[in-house]
Structure 1
């Protein structure tokens, strides 16, 4: 197989021991039609040189990658689902296929699957993924990556030729198998399982593994377990703030969907906000609004509390509470930083930053300006030409916005903001969005005409936005 020299296989999860996984076999699909390959990220792990046929053999038929796991591993975990504890979880339609090093920064990365067949944890499900679900995950990860959210990457999507019956979309519907590239699949639910089964030796082994692979800076602390926990809490708080700035609603923030690296992953009923509504939910089955947009940070904090409970026998309660107590401060600090970056402003590090940020989101909430549109119009400090070009220019003159526009104009632009504002994306007439109507229209083209051109065009549009936002983040950090 012609892998490049930057392919650095490093399978490690199996070293934890048999208590952590079950070796499984992938499904034998009737077809394998390549629909998406992420060559940008394939190059980061040395797999961009694969031919399409080789790609399909590895990510549709799951022939082992050189030097990697000889058999896929279905991971074991428990979790709270909508605050109810479920001990019957685990990888029910996915597995860990390979691990390797990021050629750029040396991180340990996983290739994990979704829709790859039944496992011991499938229960009554079929272990499959709808093609629509795979397309939606491509869109979610591409847009979140563009927005600067630390997210898993959709690595591959292959249509598999089966007719699936689902209760939440017209059936029968087309099937697929997806591969994600992720910075680990160790969930809070992974710790919960070992704690619930009172497997303290395995729990300590898992903590040591996480410190070694994901949080090595915790090794030198007087209490490495508490240090690891505090680092995980900080990363999860950052994720909550990044979702807020992106206007993203995950939909299902169960403890088995929260990793200890603070990486956003596992996209089911996600949505992006049309307007700022704290009560906006993504999942039709979230009847109480537990995971509504405005409650996501609180839900993630609750999940962190569950992780703390698993570590009580390995650390001190005082140290773990100290780690929890940083969540809110970290969230607000990150929210201010990322909001300023998206607006191409230099944060001052003072209370004025928080007042500006709170005022900005309050005005968004009260006036109903489309979420992404407000950032697009007001980037660079509410410049007169951009405001005048907006279809919402009259709203920005309303009492709710006037003091915020004044604050934005008084704020210091980030160094290099003028250069960043000349980016082609910001010369468009409107921002790139990914509202549910757009997603459904893209899927309709695929479902009705097998027309994938709209999806590919949308990915290119999103990546243009991402290039712009990367530039804004870099000038704001200077």
Structure 2
């Protein structure tokens, strides 16, 4: 038996849906399994931090089943809009659901993979992941978690010893398999697939599954509208969190939007150096569909696709009314997210929004680095080096009480960023010298920033 703690609480709730929702698959047999990253902080939350490295590799590189959960990996079935074009030929093409369990808060969690081999939905792909892609996902998820963005977490990265050919990066390149810990991988695209096949019975079943297992609610007569209401709330908060973090996901397709509002699947992501609404992450996003400033619109559009799918089992009027609340919810959420990153306490909706509306044009107009501003302004007081252009911002900040102080050692140094040049330098150290120290040092630095941001003032 593997070394599991008492916190390990396995589940098999996915079986409630039945085999019309997934396909049993087999993981690839990799030539090598070299452990490169294990997230013991995340593992502790689900009782897996006690695994020794050999056990870890057996489960997350060779995919030997964990006790009392899934006995075989499952590739989930879904469709989705990709850059607004509907695609019925997708699904889990290089990943699968490996295990389910509860975390310390009782939430249902999934361990899913990326790069674990071919499935019925691989089409012409090899089902693999580049090592660089895995390293980039670690960096993205660690930074987003520290910045308060609801995100999947990079749980494990194991190098697999294959030489991959890729058209968009130097090849051959090294390969890896990534395991993610997520609060479900149920996507909007799963609902779209069922609507495409006009399968009202399965839509009702999936709606009930999500409400019961992911939101802790028993489905009633208004289950579709209730689900949409919850998803609109969570996705509005997700879009707001992206903006406060200065993050550009790059591919906000409907198959990449989780119904719990948790961000995942990081391909061509970037952090915006300055507040540039037109900044894009994906070199193939020629129209700027998923540019930094258009992300709230993109997430709202994806939520609309859920509503369209639920129309098969619900009346249109209540669904439309819920969709119409997205903008208001987003405005409140972006105020909360920016105030949190500034270390300030919310005051009232009008004052909070005024602060955001004051900051944004000055931040954009002065081309001040995003991370520099939030670092300097944490606690609500701008340094004297910020000149006359910032006078209105200075006054708006003063209207809010601090929620946290600057006593953490992080605030005595320099702001932690995750811009593309540093990401490439971290990868270069691995690619050229097999030097993993910069990656692990960066993860440590990001986590220190997260501690500083979340720190509460002492009790009075």
Gaps of 5+ in 2: none
How many angstroms does 1:433 deviate by? 0.2
After TM superposition, the structure 1 = structure 2 runs for residues 146-165 of structure 1, keeping only pairs within 5 Å, are 146-165=146-165
Q: Is contact 2:16-2:209 (8 Å) kept?
A: no
How many angstroms does 1:407 deviate by? 2.0
Equivalent residue number for residue 231 of structure 1: 230
After TM superposition, the structure 1 = structure 2 runs for residues 27-426 of structure 1, keeping only pairs within 5 Å, are 27-102=28-103, 104-217=104-217, 219=219, 223-383=222-382, 387-388=383-384, 393=385, 396-399=386-389, 401-408=390-397, 410-415=398-403, 417=404, 420-426=405-411
- 1:30-66 superposed Cα distances (whole Å, 9 cap, x missing partner): 0000000000011110111111000000000000000
How many angstroms does 1:168 deviate by? 1.2
How many angstroms does 1:149 deviate by? 0.7
Q: 2 CA distance for matches of 1:116 and 1:313?
A: 34
Q: Is contact 1:7-1:101 (8 Å) kept?
A: yes
The answer to whether the aligner puts 1:468 opposite 2:458 as a matched pair is no
Q: 2 CA distance for matches of 1:183 and 1:215?
A: 10
How many angstroms does 1:413 deviate by? 2.0
Q: 1 CA distance for matches of 2:52 and 2:325?
A: 47
What SS does structure 1 have at the residue aligned with 2:159?
strand
Give me the TM-score of the superposition, normalised by structure 2.
0.97
- 1:103-153 superposed Cα distances (whole Å, 9 cap, x missing partner): x21000000000000001000000000000000000000000000111000
Q: Is contact 1:346-1:411 (8 Å) kept?
A: no
How many angstroms does 1:475 deviate by? 5.4
Give me the TM-score of the superposition, normalised by structure 1.
0.94
How many angstroms does 1:218 deviate by? 6.1
Gaps of 5+ in 1: none
**Aligned-pair RMSD on alpha carbons?**
1.5
Change in Cα spacing, 1:175 to 1:470, as seen in structure 2 (3 Å) is same
Q: Is contact 1:22-1:74 (8 Å) kept?
A: yes
Q: Is contact 1:154-1:179 (8 Å) kept?
A: yes
Instruction: Identify the structure with the greater helix proportion.
Output: 1
How many angstroms does 1:222 deviate by? 5.5
Equivalent residue number for residue 440 of structure 2: 456
Q: Is contact 1:218-1:228 (8 Å) kept?
A: no
Equivalent residue number for residue 26 of structure 1: 27
Equivalent residue number for residue 426 of structure 2: 442
How many angstroms does 1:374 deviate by? 0.4
Q: Is contact 1:188-1:256 (8 Å) kept?
A: yes
